[in-house]
Structure 1
Amino acid sequence: MSTPDGSDPSGPNASASAPGPHNGSWVAHGRRRWIAALLALVLVAAAVVAVISLNRSGTEAQPAATQSESPSPSATPSETPSETPPLAPAPPPPPEPIPELPAAPMNVLVIGSDSRASARDAAAHTAATGEAMDHRSDTLMLVHVPADRRTLFIISINRDTWVDIPGFGGAKINAGLQYGGIDMTTQTVQSLFGITIDHTVMLDFHGFRGMVDGLGGIDVNVPIPFQSTHDTGHVFGPGVNHLDGQSALEFARERYAFSDGDFQRVRNQQILLKAILARLTGGGGLNDVNAVRGLVDFASCCLTVDRGFDPVQAAILAYSLRNLDVNAIGTMTLPTAGSGFIAGQSVLFPDYGAINAVGAALREGRIGEFAVP
C-alpha cells in the first residue's frame, strides 16, 4: 500500500517512524549486525594502513647505504657500523714532454714599442689596413741563438740609424714600426744584415711593466748612476738595484742623463735583457716542463709575436734555453759612421762595411768574434 507521496511504507523510513508491534526486535537485531560489520571493516582497513606505514617508515628510517642490511643482533648502542674508506684520488698524469728544438741557429728580433696604449692593436691595424699608427721602435735588438743554446748574442740597433726601409724609403729605422708594423720592421733588419729572422717579439710600455712585475722584479747592476728624466724620476744608484716594472721601464728609456745619449741607453737595455734572462733561468726554472708552459701562458698577455710563433713554438724555444749561461751572453751595438742631419732630423749613419761583416759572421756562426760578454 502506497502513501500519498508515493513512498513505500515497508522502507526503512517507514519502519523507523512507525514500527509495528511484530517487527521492532528484528529491526534492532539487523541494525546491530550492520554496525558490527562496519566496525570490522574499519578495523581491517586500519590494520592494513598500519602495516604499510610501518614497513615504509622502517625502510625510510635507514640511510640509503644500509637499506639492504639487517642490524646485527649483537650490536650495542656504543658500536658504530664499519665504513669502507674512500678511494684515494688517482695521481695526475705526468706532464707531456716538450719537444727538443732542432739543433740549428736562430735569429729573433726584439722590438720595444714606445706606445702608451696597445702596440699589439696598433700593429694589427697597420697590418690589416696599411694605415700608419703613432708608435715607433725605441728598442731594437737582434738576438742570435746558436745551435747549442748555451749562450746568446745580442746586437742592439740605435733608433736613429738612417736606413732604407723596404716599401717606404729612407728613414730612421724606428719608423718602420709606425708605417708598416712588425712585418716592415722585420724586413728592414733582414735587409740590413742579409739574414733571415725566424721570429719577432714585441713589447710596449704596459707589457714590459707587466712582465717585470710578474717576475717579481729583476736585479740590475747599474754601471752609471743617474736620475731618470721620465715619469717618477727614479734614482738609480751604482751597483745592483732591484727594479719593479715601472723603474725598469725608466731605466730602459733613459738617454738624456748620459753624455753619449742613445749609446748608453742601448747598453742599459742589454743589461736589462740579461737580467730578465737571469731571472727566468735562475734555479733551473726552465727545466720544469709545467713551469715553462706556465711561463708561456703568462707571457702571452704581454708579448706580441709574429704569426708563426705560437705558444707551442715559444715553449719549445724557452725550454731549449734551460742550460743557458747568462754570464756568457755576448753583446754589441750596430756599427755606425757618425751622426748628422737629414731633413731636419738628427740621425746616425750606418757603417755598411762593418755591418756587412757582422751579417757574414751571423750567417757563418762567427758572431762571437764581434759580440763579446
Structure 2
Amino acid sequence: MTAPGGGDDPLLPGGSAPEASAPEASARRQGRRRSERRRRRRLWIWITAAVLVIVLPVALVGGYVLWLGSSFDDTVERIPDAFPDETGRPPAVAGATNFLLIGSDSRSGLRDPLSGGATGERSDTLMLVHIPADRSGVVVVSLMRDLWVPIPGHGEAKLNAAYSWGGVPLTVQTVEGLLGARIDHVAVVDFGGFGDLATALGGVKVWSDQAFTSKNMPGYSFEKGENRLEGSAALAFVRERYSFPDADYQRVRNQQAFVRGMLQGFISTQTLSDPGRTQSAITTLARHVAVDKGLTASVAASLALSFRGLAPDAIHTLTLPTAGTGTSPDGQSIVRVDEARVEVLRKALVADDVVPTLKRGALGDGRN
C-alpha cells in the first residue's frame, strides 16, 4: 500500500518514517551532542573519583614510607669502616644476604663502634642473620661469645675478643673466616635498644623454655611458655645467664626467642597497619643502632617487602654447632667449635642451601 505522496506507509511493515525537516534534524543532532557531552562528563567524574580513592592514598602511603626512610637515614649512626680489606674476603652469593648483628656490652651507647677500631669492650651477642635468595625464610645463627677461634693478627682467642681488639672490621673478618661466608651488612645494637624496641612494637612475644627469675636484674620473673616483654623486662630476659645450669647456652636461646619475636613484631599486621607504631619502631631502632654505610632505609624496605606474609615458622634459629666446653692453653674457660657440623653450615651458606639443610637435621637440633 502506498501512502499519499508516493512513499511507503510508515504504519505498515517495511514502511519508513517521513524525512524530517532541516530544523528538526539539526535539533536532533544538537541533542545527541549534548547527551554525549553529559556522558563524557560523567565518565571523567568517575575517573577522577577513582584517582582520588585509589591513587591518592597510595601516593600518601608512598610519601609516608619515603619520609620514614629519610628519617631513619638521617638519624641512624653510620660505621665509617665496617668491613675489612677486600683482599681474601669470601665472595658474595647472588641474591642471598647475610647480616651480622653485634650486641655490645658497652653501657656508654654506640660511641665505640663508630671509631672503626679497638673498642675495649667485648661483643656480648653475635648473630648471623641469613636471608636466602628465594626468600623461603630467615635463619638466625647465634655465635657463642666464648667460642675458641682464630682471630686474624692475634692467634686463637675467644670470639668476642675480636670486637675489643679491632672493633667491627675485625669482628666481621673473624666471623667471615669462621663461616666462610661474606657479611653483606653489619649492625651494632646497644643493650638499651632491646627494651625500647620491645616497647615501641607494643610488646614482643617470646617463648621461654623454662620459668626463671633474673639474678642479673633482680625483680623480674618469667614463666615457662609465652611471655610478652616490654622495656627493662625485655633487657632482663636477654641478659640473664646466671639462673641456668647451662648458663650462656640458655641465654643465647632466649636471645634467639627475642629476635624471632621482634622480627614477627616488625612484619605483623598490627604494626604495618598502624602508622604510629611503625614510626615509633623505626625511629627507636635508628636511635639504638649503628650500621654500615650500605644499609640504607631503601635496602631494608626492599628486604622487608620481600617478606610480606612470612609465616612465623619460616623464621629459623640455631646456635652454631659446638663440641662442648674446655680450657684454653692460657687457662680460660672456652667453648669448642664442632668442626664437622660447622663445615656443613659453611657449605650450605656457599650453596645458599641453609634452610633445607637445617630442615634435614644436618646441623643438629639447633640448640648447640
TM over 0.5: yes
Does residue 226 of structure 2 align to residue 240 of structure 1? yes
1:159 to 132, 141, 145: 145
State the 1:194 CA deviation. 0.6
> What is the DSSP-based 3-state SS (H/G/I as helix, E as strand, rest coil) of the residue aligned with 1:371?
helix
Q: Which residue matches 1:300?
A: 286
- Please say which of residues 155-164 and 279-288 is displaced more in the overlay: 279-288
> What is the DSSP-based 3-state SS (H/G/I as helix, E as strand, rest coil) of the residue aligned with 2:253?
helix
> What is the DSSP-based 3-state SS (H/G/I as helix, E as strand, rest coil) of the residue aligned with 2:287?
coil
State the 1:199 CA deviation. 0.6
1:325 to 311, 316, 320: 311
**In 1, Cα distance between equivalents of 2:141 and 2:331:** 28
Higher relative contact order (CA 8 A, sep 6+): 2
- What per-residue deviation string (whole Å, max 9, x for no partner) do you get for residues 305-340 of structure 1? 122212332222223222322222222211122221
Q: 1:122 corresponds to which letter in structure 2?
A: D
- What per-residue deviation string (whole Å, max 9, x for no partner) do you get for residues 62-97 of structure 1? xxxxxxxxxxxxxxxxxxxxxxxxxxxxx6844258
Contact 1:286–1:318 under 8 Å retained in 2? no
**In 1, Cα distance between equivalents of 2:245 and 2:187:** 30
User: Against the structure 1 CA distance between its residues 103 and 370, is the aligned structure 2 distance closer, same or farther, given a 3 Å change threshold?
Assistant: closer
**In 1, Cα distance between equivalents of 2:277 and 2:307:** 13
Q: Which residue matches 2:347?
A: 360
Does residue 111 of structure 2 align to residue 124 of structure 1? no
Contact 2:326–2:334 under 8 Å retained in 1? yes
**In 2, Cα distance between equivalents of 1:370 and 1:269:** 22
In structure 1, runs of 5+ residues without a counterpart are: 1-90
Contact 2:192–2:235 under 8 Å retained in 1? no
**In 1, Cα distance between equivalents of 2:315 and 2:301:** 21
> What is the DSSP-based 3-state SS (H/G/I as helix, E as strand, rest coil) of the residue aligned with 1:316?
helix
- What per-residue deviation string (whole Å, max 9, x for no partner) do you get for residues 172-223 of structure 1? 1011111111111111111111111111111111222222222122122222
> What is the DSSP-based 3-state SS (H/G/I as helix, E as strand, rest coil) of the residue aligned with 1:163?
strand
Q: Which runs of 4+ in 1 moved over 3 A?
A: 91-94, 96-99, 284-298, 369-373
2:96 to 84, 91, 105: 105
> What is the DSSP-based 3-state SS (H/G/I as helix, E as strand, rest coil) of the residue aligned with 1:300?
helix
Contact 2:132–2:138 under 8 Å retained in 1? yes
State the 1:367 CA deviation. 1.2
**In 2, Cα distance between equivalents of 1:244 and 1:262:** 22
State the 1:287 CA deviation. 8.1
Q: 2:293 corresponds to which letter in structure 1?
A: R
In structure 2, runs of 5+ residues without a counterpart are: 1-55, 70-92, 360-365
The structure with the larger Rg is 1
> What is the DSSP-based 3-state SS (H/G/I as helix, E as strand, rest coil) of the residue aligned with 1:231?
coil
2:182 to 185, 196, 201: 196
Contact 1:158–1:266 under 8 Å retained in 2? yes
- What per-residue deviation string (whole Å, max 9, x for no partner) do you get for residues 80-134 of structure 1? xxxxxxxxxxx684425889xx98111111111111111x211123x2xx4x323
Q: Which residue matches 2:215?
A: 229
State the 1:226 CA deviation. 0.6
State the 1:293 CA deviation. 7.3
Q: 1:123 corresponds to which letter in structure 2?
A: P
> What is the DSSP-based 3-state SS (H/G/I as helix, E as strand, rest coil) of the residue aligned with 1:258?
coil
Q: Which residue matches 2:159?
A: 173
> What is the DSSP-based 3-state SS (H/G/I as helix, E as strand, rest coil) of the residue aligned with 1:135?
coil
Q: Percent identity, aligned pairs only?
A: 40
> What is the DSSP-based 3-state SS (H/G/I as helix, E as strand, rest coil) of the residue aligned with 1:195?
coil
**In 2, Cα distance between equivalents of 1:294 and 1:212:** 11
Q: TM-score, normalization: structure 2? A: 0.68
Contact 2:146–2:158 under 8 Å retained in 1? yes
Does residue 120 of structure 2 align to residue 134 of structure 1? yes
Q: 2:355 corresponds to which letter in structure 1?
A: G
> What is the DSSP-based 3-state SS (H/G/I as helix, E as strand, rest coil) of the residue aligned with 1:167?
coil
**In 2, Cα distance between equivalents of 1:359 and 1:226:** 35
**In 2, Cα distance between equivalents of 1:370 and 1:235:** 36
Q: Which residue matches 2:254?
A: 268
**In 2, Cα distance between equivalents of 1:149 and 1:294:** 27
**In 2, Cα distance between equivalents of 1:359 and 1:103:** 16
Q: 1:262 corresponds to which letter in structure 2?
A: D
- Please say which of residues 275-284 and 220-229 is displaced more in the overlay: 275-284
**In 2, Cα distance between equivalents of 1:205 and 1:291:** 21
**In 1, Cα distance between equivalents of 2:137 and 2:274:** 19
Root mean square deviation of aligned Cα: 2.8
User: Against the structure 1 CA distance between its residues 323 and 142, is the aligned structure 2 distance closer, same or farther, given a 3 Å change threshold?
Assistant: same
Contact 2:197–2:281 under 8 Å retained in 1? no
Q: 2:183 corresponds to which letter in structure 1?
A: I
State the 1:292 CA deviation. 6.4
User: Against the structure 1 CA distance between its residues 294 and 103, is the aligned structure 2 distance closer, same or farther, given a 3 Å change threshold?
Assistant: farther
State the 1:252 CA deviation. 0.9
State the 1:369 CA deviation. 4.2
Contact 2:189–2:290 under 8 Å retained in 1? yes
Q: Which residue matches 1:58?
A: none
